[in-house]
Amino acid sequence: MRTVLVDSGGANLGSVRYALERLGVNAEVSGDAAVITAADRVILPGVGAAGPGMARLRELGLVDVLRGLRQPLLGICLGMQLLFEGSDEGDETCLGLLPGRVRRMVGGPGLRVPHMGWNRLEPLRESPLLRGIAPGAQAYFVHGYAVAVDDNCVARSVHGQLLAALVQRGNVAGAQFHPERSGAVGARLLANFLEFGVA
């Protein structure tokens, strides 16, 4: 099975690649449309802001490529946010693979934004991505923007507000947290994604 990491310029590219290597997968990092289209699994990592993230994808000519993928696609952190229709971060138009808009987090008394640290995952519906991940398992988050919980959300978290932690609709999935920094829980999510859609 060929897994490709989209060369989105995110600082977590290397750590996601190493996390996959620990699972026995040698993922290729590429910004080439033909390589990405030929992959069996595609992962869109990302750290930073929506504007530069989308600018990088436009520069590489990958916006329509990602919109047209039929194989499983996993967005991580900013990569997940770019799967949605738009972001309030720079009023950016995103990929539109999932309905909804990314909004700035509100926070609250004693709650820091950006949200940085470990938080519980609360499953909302069944998904192969959650196989072997216990309700209440902890994952590591770093983000100042979030997506509201809707029908595509398979696990939520709370940081002053309910937020989508893991989403999935058809072949498109996204993790707001960093599986590459979330220990055994993150490794299990990545392994589940690699098996996603395999009978």
Q: What mean pLDDT is predicted for residues 27-37? A: 96
Strands 138-143 and 98-104: unpaired
pLDDT category of residue 40 using cuts at 50, 70 and 90: very high
Q: Which class does domain 3-195 fall in?
A: alpha beta
Q: Is 59 a catalytic residue?
A: no
For residue 163, the surrounding DSSP H or E stretch is strand 162-169
**Which candidate in 94, 115, 153, 180 is catalytic?**
180
**What mean pLDDT value characterizes the chain?**
94
**Which candidate in 115, 143, 159, 178 is catalytic?**
178
Domain ranges, ordered by start, for the chain: 3-195
Q: Is 178 a catalytic residue?
A: yes
pLDDT of residue 47: 82
Output the DSSP codes for 62-86: -HHHHHT--S-EEEETHHHHTTEEE
**Which candidate in 77, 89, 143, 153 is catalytic?**
77
Q: What is the residue whose two structure tokens read 């060369």?
A: 7
Q: What is the pLDDT of residues 51-86, one digit of tens each?
A: 999 999 999 999 999 999 999 999 999 999 999 999
Under DSSP, is residue 122 helix (H, G, I), strand (E, B) or coil?
A: strand
